[in-house]
Structure 1
Amino acid sequence: MAEAVKRRNEIPNELKWDTTLIFKTKEEMLKALDECKALANEIIDNYKGKLSNAGAICDCLVKYEKLYIMIDQISSYTSLNVSVDYTDAENKKINAVVTNTYIKILSDLSFIESEIADASEEVLAEAIEKSTNAKVYLEDILKYKPHRLSPETEQALGALSETFSAPYEMYEQTKLADMSFPDFEAEGQSHPLSYTLFEENYEYIKDTEVRRAAFKAFYGKLHDYMYTTAAEYGTHVRTEKRLSELRHFDSVIDYLLFNQKVTREMYDRQIDLIMEKLAPHMRKYAKLLQKANNLEKMTYADLKITLDPEYDPKVTIEQSKDYIIDGLSIMGPEYGEMLKEAYRDHWIDFAQNIGKSTGGFCASPYGKPSFILLSWNERMSDVFTLAHELGHAGHFYACNRAQSQFDTRVSNYVVEAPSTINELLMAEYLKEKNKDDKRFRRWVLAAQISNTYYHNFVTHLLEAAYQREVYKLVDKGEAVPAETLNEIYRGVLEKFWGDAVELTEGCELTWMRQPHYYMGLYSYSYSASLTIATQVMKRIRNEGQSAVDDWKKTLAAGSTVDPIGFAKMAGVDVTTDHALLDTIDYIGSIIDEIEKLS
């Protein structure tokens, strides 16, 4: 039986991250917030109404970058403290104060982009030439000119940014604070249930009766909040649609892709090819899971079980350190030192506690260490998750040192490549380490499918296919009530899994579990990034150090290159479907080898 989830104050410090690496105390953070306000007033006094020449623009952007770095650090400090315990009223109060303050600051400073955009193209060209920290930022302002509104409107929209983000905040509150799960019965025993226990434990548990009973109880509770969550999501997508119209975009999808610097063709390719070409491979894998686990039928509730349930060794946090440092040693000594520092200096929050955000993420405030959230369950899947998040840390470790703060805003299309390649490199390391052990090799191959590719090429891709259908309705002006969202999600699952998987009642509510829907078009980008990562990993395997060197240069490039340029630096062409089809074939080859080894 799973252990009941603890309160945050019951968790030992060695399992928690250390946000004093950003600010030693709350008082130090509040002092920095006062400095932010003073700097903002200085910028207003010195530059408002005066950004008509290249010199003034460049000088202003040096100070603006300094302010942005301070806001990044302050907001990271308070939001990270909230993310580990949404039931902590004091941290939520502090975060709200900070959020209100910096939103007002940024609204008051919205004149900077408006005045720069109003400058002549000659002045902008001169500013781009002279700028020491904001060339790409200025180029982006120039490109965005047709979609910019009047300075007064831009300031009003900036002031309303907290209102625009309210649906996401309400979603997180609903999910992590309001939703309380009852114990459930299975095999004559009572079992505790929470969001974290389900997503990090019960979905993977080998006991079929417990797993399916947990699924039924979990989705039963989701159903109780279905209409509230649909209202939150519906408000969010309608807001995006209104903003896309205000900014003169043909569709909400075009509006959301613009800042990613991605074409509609690149976006649609990811979804369409994977839905068509990957589905047969994954149906085959589902059948292998069914056979290996002696299941009479394969259901949606069974898709995250392991291929070899008797061979799933426990991994401690200390053991994970050895695995990760050895497995990623190909990235060189500097990267290795960063990995050691992450463990030694408490960048990582391993804890499981009530109110903690689910899943995993990495936050990298400029000029400070990265902060990684996950829930440790002593599985090899946790090692892959941690390697993934450390990939984000390694990416921003490189580009934060090489680029200005303005040039670290990497497109969603590629931002998951540095993380997913770490999962692939870990798998290659594990296969090499035990190359004569066929059972171990099969286990690693299965981990690649069930962890890396299932998560990024299936879970998030199906979410992306669903999201695209929602936006199509929104573009037509149609409503998206809970029943419609359920129908769309179930339809996507039916199309992908066919008759290989029985869709358990409640599966249509899976859309309620994903916070990425409140972050624009994010879900599809996992498969786009992993496509690049797969091709780079194959280059590293075939070419060695030269491919590693190319990759390290790519990581340091930040947003000075667009997604096509990022991939090209790493030796990958994403302008055609070749890289994606090759990656799908690679996934298929792993499944074929698993079948042979079985």
Structure 2
Amino acid sequence: MENKLPKRSEVATELTWKIEDIFASEKDWEKTLNEAVSLADEIVKFLGKAAESAENLYQVLEMVEKCNLKCHLVFGYAFKMRDVDTTATLGQTLYSKAMSLEVGISEKLSFLEPEIIAVSDEVIEKFYKERPELIKYKVFITEVRRGKEHSLSPELERLLAGTNEISELPYEGFATLSNADLKFPEITDEKGEKIQITNGRFVPLEESKDRNLRKEVFEKYYETFGSFKNTWATLYAGQVKQLMFNARARKYSSTLEAAVDSNNVSPEVYKNLVEAINDNLDKMHRYVRLRKKLLEVDELHMYDVYVPIVKDYEVKYTIEEAKELVLKAVEPLGTNYVNLLKKAFTERWIDVVENEGKRGGAYSSGVYGVHPFVLLNFNGTLDNVFTLAHEMGHAMHSYFSNEKQHFMDSQYKIFVAEVASTTNEVLLMEYMLKNAKDNKERAYLLNHYMDSFKGTIYRQTMFAEFEKTATEMAEGGEPLTHENLTALYLKLNKKYFGEDMVSDELIGYEWMRIPHFYYNFYVYQYATGYSAAVAIAHRILKEGETALKDYMEFLHSGCTADPVSLLRIAGVDMATKEPINSALEVFERVIEEMERLIK
């Protein structure tokens, strides 16, 4: 691990994504931005008469689709420019302009949904007969009308749309502080070399065999976050308050109900997950006991969470080796899927390495009419290999959805977003386990498998419970101070990890570093998605072509039905606890095998 991160300009071109595939120049970007504004101005001419006739409605929706696509391209380019170097003025400027564009157009077009809602069901059906081409927008029209009881007058919709940019400020403050302004101290590694802690290096450093190093990194990392505890609490309280404002404005009973309804999912799905996981905490506690035993420590601490429990076995991967593993693992998904991945790898869809100012973590962003873009911070760990598989699953989902659906039907709901990504992870794990050279390698992989269940089902559900409880506190009038939030997080950590884990006081600060807490009840979908993916991947491996056909139909479906119905196409019913319980049975079997392998 090198001490100094490269500047963006020092990163090899082949390791960067080809952003010019969206726009060849800033001039082209600016031109598209202005075209979007002009289109919005044309749409506004239909104010008061957008749903007056079938012809008007069709014309308006055609223009809305074109306008939204232009905004999508403008915004997609801008935030990618910002994310690869959050310290650069250009990216910040483009992002700011793109945000202003989205807010401005959202305000201008805010009249449309109330006008579509105001029309009776009979008239809408009549419109479809008079202008059959309008059927193209039936999914959109139906989704708009589904929100009838939560819609407002055109004047209030316009006013509410004007708050969108303000609503982004808590996250923007979090991202700027976390990625650009927060400076971590240096530590001395096992070789005696100075290394600066970064968000991207935190987990790799916590995987070190040197326990004193892990402890030092853990303490310095969280102490750095804790030194801004009042600021983090202010930012998160701002996030919760803007969610509460929007939920109340739209006549929802809670922020949770408003959040899940935006994806056409029942709050019961969220509550089912938290209940199912709480009913299965014994398996998590069994995993913690096994980790403590295999690490041979008197006390298991939170800085012992990431270190592999298989001793004297460590593998590092190049990005090329990671790509090859992923390609082999997804062969059960068919030749077309594999060839598309090869195309992504050779045509620079991916931004690979960490550089100064680059956003932490990883994501995939589908750009309609272009191709998906994937951001990584690849450090060569096994976890990084799985991250590549994960993000390419997102990318392929976007690709197939965009290929089959027109723009307005291509934007699949967030609830299903983690399924394709995690299906790839499960396939990768099964492939690597099948091809393990010996019991030592198999144990190393099983360790990662257990950590995936721990991290994706249990940890994300703990996050989900934190979000749910914190917003309920705020809705009940309790202030979200750093003391309250830290105490809540520490209490949940103790519950989820159990008595065999020492929940160090500093882990109470972990809520401060989680960007997903600014995504509006997003994280529960990692756990539901992982549960669904375990079922889908095993079905494909067991049944072959029939299961693959169903899965590919799901990937091509965009948002053409509600998310729970779409998952039923792939053979999973998330309206029940069954997929969660089934996934945790797999977790238990993995723990049992690990207990047998290492005695």
Contact 2:364-2:373 within 8 A present in 1 as well: yes
**Map of 1:483 onto structure 2:** 483
Shift of residue 48, structure 1, vs aligned partner: 5.3
**Does 2:380 match 1:411?**
no
- Please name the residue that 1:591 is paired with: 591
Which residue in the other structure is 2:69 paired with? 69
Q: Deviations over 1:17-36 (max 9, x none)?
A: 11111111111111111211
Q: Where does residue 140 of structure 2 map in the other structure?
A: 137
Q: CA RMSD in A?
A: 1.8
- CA 1:143 to 1:197, structure 2 compared with 1: closer, same or farther past 3 Å? closer
- Structure 1 partner of 2:544: 544
Matched residue, 1:320? 322
Deviation of 1:81 after TM superposition, in Å, equals 0.9
Please name the residue that 1:96 is paired with. Answer: 96
**Correspondence list, 1:5-404, <5 A:** 5-46=5-46, 49-127=49-127, 130=132, 131-184=134-187, 189=192, 191-277=194-280, 279-404=281-406
1:319-353 Cα distance to aligned partner (Å, 9 max, x none):
11211111111111211121111111111111111
- Deviation at residue 397 of structure 1 after TM alignment: 0.8
Asked if the contact 1:387/1:423 (under 8 Å) is kept, the reply is yes
User: 1:190 Cα shift?
Assistant: 6.2
Secondary structure, counterpart of 1:359 in structure 2: coil
Contact 2:206 2:304 survives alignment (8 Å): yes
- 2: CA distance between counterparts of 1:554 and 1:166? 35
2:514 aligned with 1:511:
no
Counterpart residue identity of residue 423, structure 2: I
Q: Which moved more, 1:415-424 or 1:334-343?
A: 334-343
Count of matched residue positions in the alignment of Structure 1 and Structure 2 = 595
2:458/2:496 contact within 8 Å kept: no
Question: In structure 1, what residue type is equivalent to 2:77?
Answer: Y
2 CA distance for matches of 1:335 and 1:97? Answer: 36
* 1:54-96 CA-partner distances (Å, limit 9, x unpaired): 2211221112111111111110001011011111112201221
**What letter corresponds to residue 489 of structure 1 in structure 2?**
Y
Distance (whole Å) between structure 1 residues aligned to residue 41 and residue 181 of structure 2: 40
Report the AA paired with residue 522 of structure 1. Y
Q: CA deviation at 1:49?
A: 3.2
TM-score normalised over the length of structure 2: 0.96
Letter in 2 for 1:539: R
After TM superposition, the structure 1 stretch with the greater mean CA deviation from structure 2, 42-51 or 535-544, is: 42-51
> 2-side partners of 1:146 and 1:367: how far apart?
34
Q: For residue 309 of structure 2, give the secondary structure of its aligned residue in structure 1.
A: coil
CA distance in 1, matches of 2:525, 2:296: 35
**Distance 1:197-1:530 versus aligned 2 partners, 3 A rule:** closer
Q: Which secondary structure state, in structure 1, belongs to the residue aligned with residue 501 of structure 2?
A: coil
**Counterpart of 2:82 in structure 1: which amino acid?**
V
Q: Percent of aligned pairs with the same residue?
A: 27
How big is the shift at 1:128? Answer: 5.8
Give the structure-1-normalised TM-score: 0.96
Alpha-carbon distance change, 128 to 524 in structure 1, aligned in 2, over 3 angstroms? farther
Deviates more, 1:452-461 or 1:88-97: 452-461
**Cα deviations across residues 240-288 of structure 1 (Å, max 9, x unaligned)?**
11211111111111111111222122111111211330x2222222233
Deviates more, 1:568-577 or 1:115-124: 115-124
| Aligned residue in 1 for 2:450 | 449
Residue by residue, what CA displacement relative to the aligned partner does 1:459-508 show, whole Å, maximum 9, x if unpaired? 22211111111111122122111111001101101111121111123100
Shift of 1:186: 6.5
Contact 2:167 2:239 in 1 (8 A): yes
Unaligned runs of 5+ in 1: none
Secondary structure at 2:505's aligned position in 1? Answer: coil
Which stretch shifts more, 283-292 or 15-24?
283-292
Q: Secondary structure at the match of 1:560?
A: coil
Report the AA paired with residue 266 of structure 2: T
Tell me the equivalent position of 2:427: 425
Equivalent position SS for 2:459: helix
- 1:415 is aligned with what amino acid? A
Contact 2:49 2:56 in 1 (8 A): no
Q: 1:521 to 1:127 in 2, by over 3 A?
A: farther
Q: For 1:456 and 1:374, locate their aligned partners in 2 and report how far apart those are by CA, in whole Å.
A: 18
Structure 2 counterpart SS, 1:559: coil
Q: Which moved more, 1:85-94 or 1:485-494?
A: 85-94
Alpha-carbon distance in 2 for matches of 1:64, 1:312: 53
> What are structure 2's unaligned runs of at least 5 residues?
none
Q: CA deviation at 1:357?
A: 1.3
Q: AA paired with 1:123?
A: V
SS at match of 1:310: coil
Decide whether the 8 Å contact of 1:187 with 1:209 is kept in 2.
no
Q: Is this contact kept in 1: 2:292–2:500, CA < 8 A?
A: no
Q: C-alpha separation between the residues in 2 aligned to 1:127 and 1:443?
A: 61
Paired amino acid for 2:184: F
1:116 is matched by which residue type in structure 2? I
